[in-house]
Amino acid sequence: MKIGELASRANLNASAIRYYEKRGLLAAPQRIGGQRRYPGDALHRVLLIRFASDMDFTLSEIKLFLSGLRDNAPVGPRWKKLAARKLNEVEQNIARSLRLKSLLQGLLQCHCASLQVCVQCLSLSPNCAALRVSRTKQR
């Protein structure tokens, strides 16, 4: 298939396809009359690249993952190592997101008397718990 068709079917610009080629994520296709002609399985590879990119894998990580990837091949140790490392990153992002959610929920209920008090609470200083207790008693 031509680059425009591949790009369209993957919902990408043709420039992204050329960039994937340049970075070594996608094999250079056969050229017929100067035009790139991709095999049918190129679409699956491009969709996998796009999905992995959307999931915050770096292009270097995607390249590592895809190098040597063949249909019906078992998952090798390299892929398991990458998956374990990425899973750790995901767990850290989840923890960070939960802290952010908690902070934002607290801000929605903020009745601080001043910016200084609010900043002290946001910095999670030991005084914050005492301030919250005293504000609760004042209400």
pLDDT at 71: 56
Between CA 3 and CA 13 the distance in angstroms is: 9
Is there a single domain that holds both residue 48 and residue 30? Answer: yes
Q: What are phi and psi of 36, to 5 degrees?
A: -70, 135
Average pLDDT of the chain?
Answer: 82
Is there a single domain that holds both residue 1 and residue 53? Answer: yes
Q: For the segment 74-110, what is each residue's pLDDT rounded down to a tens digit?
A: 667 777 888 888 899 999 999 999 988 888 887 787 7
- The total number of residues shown for the chain amounts to 139
Is there a single domain that holds both residue 78 and residue 30? Answer: no
Is there a single domain that holds both residue 1 and residue 31? Answer: yes
Write out the two tokens for 134: 């005293």
Q: What pTM value is reported for the model?
A: 0.64
Write out the two tokens for 116: 């200084």
Is there a single domain that holds both residue 93 and residue 118? Answer: no
pLDDT at 70: 61
Q: Where are the alpha helices (DSSP H) in 1-139?
A: 3-9, 14-22, 42-54, 59-66, 77-108, 115-122, 126-138
Higher pLDDT, 130 or 111: 111
Between CA 3 and CA 129 the distance in angstroms is: 60
With a cut of 90, say whether residue 43 has pLDDT above it.
yes
pLDDT at 75: 65
Is there a single domain that holds both residue 102 and residue 116? Answer: no
Between CA 36 and CA 116 the distance in angstroms is: 62
Q: For the segment 4-32, what is each residue's pLDDT rounded down to a tens digit?
A: 999 999 999 999 999 999 999 998 899 99
pLDDT at 29: 92
Is there a single domain that holds both residue 23 and residue 80? Answer: no
Residue type, 26: L
Domains held by the chain: number: 3
Higher pLDDT, 40 or 124: 40
With a cut of 60, say whether residue 125 has pLDDT above it.
no
Is there a single domain that holds both residue 103 and residue 122? Answer: no
Distance from the Cα of residue 45 to its chain's centroid: 18
Is there a single domain that holds both residue 2 and residue 64? Answer: yes
**Closest to 106 (Cα-Cα) out of 89, 118, 91, 88:** 118
Domain span at 39: 1-68
With a cut of 70, say whether residue 130 has pLDDT above it.
no
Q: What are phi and psi of 13, to 5 degrees?
A: -85, 155
Task: Report the CATH number that the domain containing residue 57 is assigned in CATH.
Answer: 1.10.1660.10
DSSP 125: -
State whether the Cα torsion 98-99-101-106 is positive or negative. positive
